[in-house]
Amino acid sequence: MNIEMLHLEQGPIRPPSESRSLLLRLTRNCPWNQCLFCPVYKDRKFSRRPVAEILQDIQAARDMVDDIQALSRRLGSGGAVDNRVVSHIAGNSKYGRSYRSIAVWLYYGTSACFLQDADNLVLPTDDLVTALTFLKEKFPEITRITTYARSRSVARKSPDALARIRTAGLNRVHMGLETGCDPLLKFMKKGTTSAIHVEAGQKLIDAGMEVSEYVMPGLGGQGMWREHAIETARTLNQINPHFIRLRSLQIPERTALHQKRLSGDFVMQHDDQVVEEIRLFIEMLDGITSMVASDHIMNLLENVSGKLPEDKPAMLEAIDAYQRLSDTERLIYRVGRRGSAFRSVDDFLTDTQTRQKLTSMIEKIQTSEGLDGVERFISNMTETYL
């Protein structure tokens, strides 16, 4: 066997928190694929990978890990995957992409595995259990196995099925909740309801899994932002997930929502309005103990994060600090944030050098193109992340 040529099939995305996890693909693309705001799996057909193929990938990953550890011993690193081993692999063209990504996974030592793609709970329970059992058998060192799932697919599983899946090794599920507002879920063609979100979240928790719910600030647009904030908080208050993750709306041209925006059926909020919406949302979270994370590059304020309920005042203060800035300061902050210079208002206040550079850059744009020119500049920078 030519080990360097072994290959693992991989899907296009994983959550930011899984950037250092082993990626293993169980299904291809999304079985729903209709959400108006979603650009990810457009024009790609959903399929379940045959179990035999998944097991083959797991075995290939194991073979690569064994080979990398043997290489480490030959190089004098005693089996550890350190800079020397990673540099050796990166500098040698005989090693393929999968081999390199496994080396990086070992280097970070996260002991975590993320199962791709969009909804693995749509798989028959027996298939999922077979794959998880084989994965745990081949990788007893893996301590965290996570996946994306749609709430409708989870809600369809019986408590017994979810308990079997948990026992086989799945310990965290990332759910794209987006909103708890039913009219908005319908408008966005999310194919689920607030009640189904609640049922799914509660079932996963009852089965002993961690639940990570993604919320999309901005999704209500100017027409439904208030209901979006209130109903989403109300839904999450019934679930009490382990994690609430914010991932603000952006609208790439290839989405159906872009067409709605062009036709005027959807009016996007300004950044400052989204901040106000997030403030209302955080205020309405009540009686839960979730961790709130704002770990997505699309979010304006990364430090709206912490553990509920104790960090709620600090999260609100992070928002208030932004709202206390003058119009000009907020503009500078937004340009800096979209250029990855700031993560919070604290960064903005302490980094005077960057602030000055941005101020003169904005003045130049404003002189030639006016305020609209600066807003265009911010949009263009944001689009580079899409």
> Does residue number 155 form part of the binding site for ligand SF4 (CB under 6 A)?
no
Q: Which listed residue (22, 23, 24, 35) binds ligand SF4 by CB under 6 A?
A: 35
> Does residue number 164 form part of the binding site for ligand SF4 (CB under 6 A)?
no
- Contacting ligand SF4 within 85-124 (CB under 6 A): 118
- Contacting ligand SF4 within 306-345 (CB under 6 A): none
Stretch that binds ligand SF4, among 4-12, 38-46, 57-65, 332-340 (CB under 6 A): 38-46
Q: Which listed residue (176, 180, 306, 336) binds ligand SF4 by CB under 6 A?
A: 176
Q: In the complex with ligand SF4, which residue's Cβ is closer, 34 or 59?
A: 34
Q: In the complex with ligand SF4, which residue's Cβ is closer, 115 or 358?
A: 115
Stretch that binds ligand SF4, among 35-43, 129-137, 307-315, 355-363 (CB under 6 A): 35-43
Tell the smallest beta-carbon distance from residue 41 to ligand SF4 (Å).
6
- Which structure tokens are listed for 62? 């194991």
> For residues 103 and 120, is the Cβ–Cβ distance under 8 A?
no
> For residues 52 and 93, is the Cβ–Cβ distance under 8 A?
no
> Does residue number 221 form part of the binding site for ligand SF4 (CB under 6 A)?
no
Stretch that binds ligand SF4, among 37-45, 84-92, 96-104, 289-297 (CB under 6 A): 37-45
Tell the smallest beta-carbon distance from residue 14 to ligand SF4 (Å).
12
Non-local CB neighbours of 327 within 8 Å, separated by 6+ positions: none
* Total residues interacting with ligand SF4, rule: CB under 6 A: 11
Q: In the complex with ligand SF4, which residue's Cβ is closer, 58 or 118?
A: 118
Classify each residue of 59-92 as buried b or exposed e, where b means 16 or more C-beta atoms within 10 Å of its C-beta. ebbbebbebbbebbeeeebeeebeeebbebbeee
| Calpha distance 256→258 (Å, rounded) | 5
> Does residue number 33 form part of the binding site for ligand SF4 (CB under 6 A)?
yes
The answer to whether the bond into 117 is cis (omega within 30° of 0) is yes
What interhelical angle do 51-75 and 97-108 show, nearest 10? 70
Stretch that binds ligand SF4, among 31-39, 64-72, 322-330, 374-382 (CB under 6 A): 31-39
Residue span 272-311 as binding mask against ligand SF4, x where in contact by CB under 6 A, dash where not: ----------------------------------------
Q: In the complex with ligand SF4, which residue's Cβ is closer, 98 or 147?
A: 147
Stretch that binds ligand SF4, among 34-42, 100-108, 320-328, 330-338 (CB under 6 A): 34-42
Q: In the complex with ligand SF4, which residue's Cβ is closer, 32 or 342?
A: 32
> Does residue number 40 form part of the binding site for ligand SF4 (CB under 6 A)?
yes
Non-local CB neighbours of 291 within 8 Å, separated by 6+ positions: 242, 243, 244, 305, 306, 307, 308
| Calpha distance 298→211 (Å, rounded) | 22
The distance of Cα 66 from the centroid of its chain, to the nearest Å, equals 30
> For residues 119 and 31, is the Cβ–Cβ distance under 8 A?
yes
Task: Please name every residue paired with 174 in a beta bridge, in sequence order, or none if there are none.
Answer: 148, 212
Tell the smallest beta-carbon distance from residue 150 to ligand SF4 (Å).
5
The residues that touch ligand SF4, with contacts defined as CB under 6 A, are 30, 32-35, 38, 40-41, 118, 150, 176
